[in-house]
Amino acid sequence: SQKIEQNSEALNIQEGKTATLTCNYTNYSPAYLQWYRQDPGRGPVFLLLIRENEKEKRKERLKVTFDTTLKQSLFHITASQPADSATYLCALDLTGDTPLVFGKGTRLSVIA
Amino acid sequence: GAVVSQHPSRVICKSGTSVKIECRSLDFQATTMFWYRQFPKQSLMLMATSNEGSKATYEQGVEKDKFLINHASLTLSTLTVTSAHPEDSSFYICSARPGVSGNTIYFGEGSWLTVV
Protein backbone atom coordinates (compact mmCIF):
# COMPACT_ATOMS: atom_id res chain seq x y z
CA SER A 1 0.00 0.00 0.00
CA GLN A 2 1.03 3.60 -0.44
CA LYS A 3 2.34 5.35 2.63
CA ILE A 4 4.06 8.55 3.61
CA GLU A 5 5.50 8.75 7.09
CA GLN A 6 7.23 11.41 9.11
CA ASN A 7 9.28 9.63 11.66
CA SER A 8 8.52 11.68 14.72
CA GLU A 9 5.23 13.09 15.84
CA ALA A 10 7.13 15.52 18.04
CA LEU A 11 10.74 16.61 18.31
CA ASN A 12 12.29 18.75 21.03
CA ILE A 13 15.69 20.33 20.54
CA GLN A 14 17.77 22.99 22.17
CA GLU A 15 18.18 26.42 20.62
CA GLY A 16 21.22 26.62 18.39
CA LYS A 17 21.24 22.94 17.49
CA THR A 18 20.33 21.47 14.12
CA ALA A 19 16.90 19.93 13.82
CA THR A 20 16.57 17.00 11.43
CA LEU A 21 13.16 15.79 10.33
CA THR A 22 12.61 12.67 8.26
CA CYS A 23 10.02 11.85 5.63
CA ASN A 24 9.77 8.35 4.17
CA TYR A 25 7.39 7.06 1.55
CA THR A 26 6.52 3.75 -0.08
CA ASN A 27 4.87 2.88 -3.37
CA TYR A 28 4.93 6.41 -4.69
CA SER A 29 7.10 7.93 -7.39
CA PRO A 30 6.95 11.65 -6.76
CA ALA A 31 8.37 14.03 -9.29
CA TYR A 32 8.89 16.56 -6.53
CA LEU A 33 8.83 16.72 -2.78
CA GLN A 34 7.74 19.77 -0.85
CA TRP A 35 8.09 20.89 2.76
CA TYR A 36 5.64 23.17 4.54
CA ARG A 37 5.45 24.85 7.91
CA GLN A 38 2.17 25.04 9.78
CA ASP A 39 1.57 27.12 12.88
CA PRO A 40 -1.39 26.32 15.15
CA GLY A 41 -4.67 27.48 13.68
CA ARG A 42 -3.08 28.63 10.42
CA GLY A 43 -2.79 27.25 6.93
CA PRO A 44 0.49 25.63 5.82
CA VAL A 45 3.17 27.85 4.36
CA PHE A 46 5.49 26.66 1.61
CA LEU A 47 9.17 26.35 2.51
CA LEU A 48 11.07 24.34 -0.08
CA LEU A 49 10.57 22.19 -3.14
CA ILE A 50 13.10 19.64 -4.38
CA ARG A 51 12.98 17.79 -7.67
CA GLU A 52 13.54 14.06 -8.07
CA ASN A 53 16.84 14.68 -9.87
CA GLU A 54 18.14 17.02 -7.17
CA LYS A 55 20.03 15.69 -4.20
CA GLU A 56 19.97 18.76 -2.03
CA LYS A 57 18.36 22.18 -1.81
CA ARG A 58 19.16 25.02 0.54
CA LYS A 59 17.41 28.20 1.59
CA GLU A 60 18.97 30.27 4.34
CA ARG A 61 19.06 28.00 7.43
CA LEU A 62 17.01 25.29 5.76
CA LYS A 63 18.33 22.30 3.87
CA VAL A 64 16.42 19.50 2.20
CA THR A 65 17.77 16.28 0.76
CA PHE A 66 15.93 13.86 -1.47
CA ASP A 67 17.02 10.26 -1.98
CA THR A 68 14.74 8.52 -4.47
CA THR A 69 16.54 5.19 -3.92
CA LEU A 70 15.88 5.24 -0.19
CA LYS A 71 12.56 6.99 -0.80
CA GLN A 72 13.42 9.47 1.84
CA SER A 73 13.75 13.20 2.37
CA LEU A 74 15.54 14.87 5.23
CA PHE A 75 14.74 18.41 6.34
CA HIS A 76 17.32 20.28 8.38
CA ILE A 77 17.07 23.54 10.26
CA THR A 78 20.47 24.76 11.37
CA ALA A 79 21.06 27.15 14.28
CA SER A 80 17.49 26.55 15.37
CA GLN A 81 15.56 29.27 17.16
CA PRO A 82 12.43 29.22 19.33
CA ALA A 83 10.63 30.93 16.43
CA ASP A 84 11.20 27.79 14.37
CA SER A 85 8.79 25.92 16.66
CA ALA A 86 5.93 24.71 14.47
CA THR A 87 4.64 21.63 12.73
CA TYR A 88 6.53 20.71 9.58
CA LEU A 89 4.81 18.78 6.85
CA CYS A 90 6.35 16.93 3.97
CA ALA A 91 4.30 16.44 0.86
CA LEU A 92 4.71 14.32 -2.24
CA ASP A 93 4.09 16.16 -5.48
CA LEU A 94 3.04 13.66 -8.12
CA THR A 95 2.68 14.40 -11.81
CA GLY A 96 -0.12 16.36 -13.38
CA ASP A 97 -2.56 18.47 -11.49
CA THR A 98 -3.02 16.04 -8.64
CA PRO A 99 -3.21 17.12 -5.01
CA LEU A 100 -0.20 16.86 -2.77
CA VAL A 101 0.02 13.82 -0.51
CA PHE A 102 0.84 15.02 2.98
CA GLY A 103 2.57 13.32 5.84
CA LYS A 104 1.11 13.73 9.32
CA GLY A 105 3.72 16.28 10.27
CA THR A 106 6.37 16.62 12.93
CA ARG A 107 5.77 19.10 15.72
CA LEU A 108 9.10 20.76 16.42
CA SER A 109 9.75 22.58 19.68
CA VAL A 110 12.95 24.59 20.01
CA ILE A 111 13.74 25.23 23.64
CA ALA A 112 15.65 28.34 24.64
CA GLY B 1 3.88 36.30 -4.07
CA ALA B 2 0.77 34.37 -4.89
CA VAL B 3 -1.90 34.54 -2.23
CA VAL B 4 -4.95 32.47 -1.51
CA SER B 5 -7.60 34.15 0.55
CA GLN B 6 -10.16 32.24 2.57
CA HIS B 7 -13.28 33.66 4.18
CA PRO B 8 -14.61 33.57 6.83
CA SER B 9 -11.73 32.77 9.13
CA ARG B 10 -14.08 31.77 11.92
CA VAL B 11 -17.75 30.93 11.90
CA ILE B 12 -20.16 29.60 14.47
CA CYS B 13 -23.44 28.20 13.28
CA LYS B 14 -26.39 26.36 14.69
CA SER B 15 -26.88 22.69 14.08
CA GLY B 16 -28.96 22.09 10.98
CA THR B 17 -27.96 25.26 9.16
CA SER B 18 -25.61 25.60 6.19
CA VAL B 19 -22.33 27.45 6.04
CA LYS B 20 -20.43 28.65 2.98
CA ILE B 21 -16.66 29.08 2.92
CA GLU B 22 -14.99 30.94 0.07
CA CYS B 23 -11.54 30.40 -1.35
CA ARG B 24 -10.05 32.94 -3.73
CA SER B 25 -6.77 33.01 -5.61
CA LEU B 26 -5.84 36.67 -5.57
CA ASP B 27 -3.20 37.04 -8.25
CA PHE B 28 -3.32 33.90 -10.32
CA GLN B 29 -5.88 31.73 -12.01
CA ALA B 30 -6.49 28.30 -10.60
CA THR B 31 -8.32 25.74 -12.67
CA THR B 32 -8.02 23.40 -9.73
CA MET B 33 -8.36 24.05 -6.03
CA PHE B 34 -8.18 21.58 -3.18
CA TRP B 35 -10.21 21.45 0.00
CA TYR B 36 -8.81 19.94 3.17
CA ARG B 37 -10.11 19.31 6.62
CA GLN B 38 -7.96 19.18 9.72
CA PHE B 39 -8.85 18.14 13.24
CA PRO B 40 -6.71 19.36 16.15
CA LYS B 41 -3.23 17.86 16.09
CA GLN B 42 -4.11 15.78 13.06
CA SER B 43 -2.83 15.89 9.52
CA LEU B 44 -4.49 17.57 6.58
CA MET B 45 -7.15 15.33 5.10
CA LEU B 46 -8.00 15.94 1.47
CA MET B 47 -11.74 16.21 1.03
CA ALA B 48 -12.13 17.05 -2.63
CA THR B 49 -10.57 18.50 -5.71
CA SER B 50 -12.49 21.43 -7.10
CA ASN B 51 -12.40 21.81 -10.88
CA GLU B 52 -13.43 25.04 -12.58
CA GLY B 53 -16.45 24.51 -14.75
CA SER B 54 -17.01 20.89 -13.82
CA LYS B 55 -17.98 18.71 -10.91
CA ALA B 56 -15.68 18.32 -7.96
CA THR B 57 -13.89 15.06 -7.32
CA TYR B 58 -14.51 13.82 -3.80
CA GLU B 59 -12.26 11.57 -1.77
CA GLN B 60 -13.58 8.30 -0.51
CA GLY B 61 -15.77 8.71 2.54
CA VAL B 62 -16.58 12.37 1.91
CA GLU B 63 -20.29 12.98 1.33
CA LYS B 64 -20.73 15.09 -1.78
CA ASP B 65 -24.28 16.05 -0.82
CA LYS B 66 -23.11 17.32 2.53
CA PHE B 67 -20.04 19.18 1.35
CA LEU B 68 -21.09 21.05 -1.76
CA ILE B 69 -18.27 22.46 -3.83
CA ASN B 70 -18.73 25.02 -6.55
CA HIS B 71 -15.83 26.30 -8.64
CA ALA B 72 -17.60 29.00 -10.57
CA SER B 73 -14.60 30.94 -11.84
CA LEU B 74 -10.85 30.62 -12.23
CA THR B 75 -10.32 32.50 -8.97
CA LEU B 76 -13.12 31.31 -6.72
CA SER B 77 -14.16 28.02 -5.19
CA THR B 78 -16.75 27.65 -2.45
CA LEU B 79 -17.38 24.88 0.04
CA THR B 80 -20.84 24.71 1.58
CA VAL B 81 -21.37 22.53 4.60
CA THR B 82 -25.05 21.67 4.48
CA SER B 83 -27.18 20.74 7.46
CA ALA B 84 -24.18 21.11 9.71
CA HIS B 85 -23.79 19.00 12.83
CA PRO B 86 -21.38 19.36 15.75
CA GLU B 87 -19.17 16.62 14.31
CA ASP B 88 -18.59 18.86 11.28
CA SER B 89 -16.77 21.30 13.53
CA SER B 90 -13.24 21.44 12.19
CA PHE B 91 -10.60 23.54 10.48
CA TYR B 92 -11.21 23.73 6.74
CA ILE B 93 -8.37 24.79 4.44
CA CYS B 94 -8.28 25.38 0.72
CA SER B 95 -5.28 25.45 -1.55
CA ALA B 96 -4.49 26.30 -5.13
CA ARG B 97 -1.47 26.56 -7.36
CA PRO B 98 -0.54 28.38 -10.50
CA GLY B 99 0.06 25.69 -13.08
CA VAL B 100 0.59 22.02 -12.36
CA SER B 101 2.99 19.69 -10.63
CA GLY B 102 6.24 21.27 -9.55
CA ASN B 103 4.79 24.61 -8.67
CA THR B 104 4.28 25.87 -5.18
CA ILE B 105 0.88 25.27 -3.71
CA TYR B 106 -0.55 28.17 -1.77
CA PHE B 107 -2.87 27.63 1.13
CA GLY B 108 -5.57 29.83 2.50
CA GLU B 109 -5.47 30.81 6.15
CA GLY B 110 -8.16 28.30 6.96
CA SER B 111 -11.66 28.57 8.35
CA TRP B 112 -12.62 27.43 11.80
CA LEU B 113 -16.12 26.07 11.82
CA THR B 114 -17.90 25.48 15.09
CA VAL B 115 -21.37 23.96 15.00
CA VAL B 116 -23.36 24.39 18.20
Q: In chain B, what is the straight-line distance between the N-terminal and C-terminal CA atoms, in Å?
A: 37
Window 54-73 of B, Cβ < 8 Å to A: none
Confidence of residue B101 (pLDDT cuts 50, 70, 90): low
Banded model confidence at residue A16, pLDDT cuts 50, 70, 90 = very high
Contact with chain B for residue A98, Cβ under 8 A: yes
For residue B1, is pLDDT > 70? no
**Rounded Cα gap, residues B22 and B66, in angstroms:** 16
What's residue A4's pLDDT? 92
Q: Please, is B5 exposed, middle or buried when counting C-beta atoms within 10 Å of its C-beta (0-12, 13-18, 19+)?
A: middle
Query: For the segment A66-112, what is each residue's pLDDT rounded down to a tens digit?
Result: 999 999 999 999 999 999 999 999 999 887 677 888 999 999 999 99
pLDDT at B84 (0 to 100): 97
pLDDT of residue B27: 87
Write the residue in B4, B44, B104 that is nearest to A49 by C-beta: B104
In chain A, what are the helix, strand and coil shares in percent, each to the nearest 5? Answer: 5, 55, 40
Give the model's pLDDT for residue B42. Answer: 83
Residue range B75-104: mean pLDDT, rounded? 89
Instruction: Over range A55-60, report the average pLDDT.
Output: 95
Query: Does position B100 have pLDDT exceeding 90, yes or no?
Result: no
Mean pLDDT calculated for residue range B48-75: 92
State whether B105 and A34 contact (CB < 8 Å). yes
| H helix or E strand, kind and range, residue A102 | strand A101-102
B108 reaches A (C-beta below 8 A)? yes
Element (H, E) at A62: strand A62-67
More confident residue, B53 or B85: B85
Q: Which residues 11-50 on chain A approach chain B with CB closer than 8 angstroms?
A: 31-32, 34, 36, 41-46, 49
